[in-house]
Amino acid sequence: DACAAPGGKTFRMIEGGLEVTAVDSVRDRLSLMTENLKRLNMDAALRCHDWLSGPMATQDTFDAVLVDAPCTALGVVRRHPEILWRRQPGDPATMSISQRVILKHAAKHVKAGGVLIYAVCSTEPEEGSAVAQTLKGWTVANRWSSVPPQGDEDGFQAFVLRRKED
Catalytic positions = 121
For 12, the enclosing helix (H) or strand (E) is helix 8-15
Closest CA to 78 of 123, 22, 118: 123
Rg of the chain, C-alpha, whole Å: 16
Closest CA to 159 of 126, 128, 137: 128
Cis peptide, bond prior to residue 148, ω within 30 of zero: yes
Round to whole Å and give the CA distance between 41 and 21: 16
Instruction: Calculate the alpha carbon distances from 1 to 91, 106, 121 in Å.
Output: 24, 10, 16
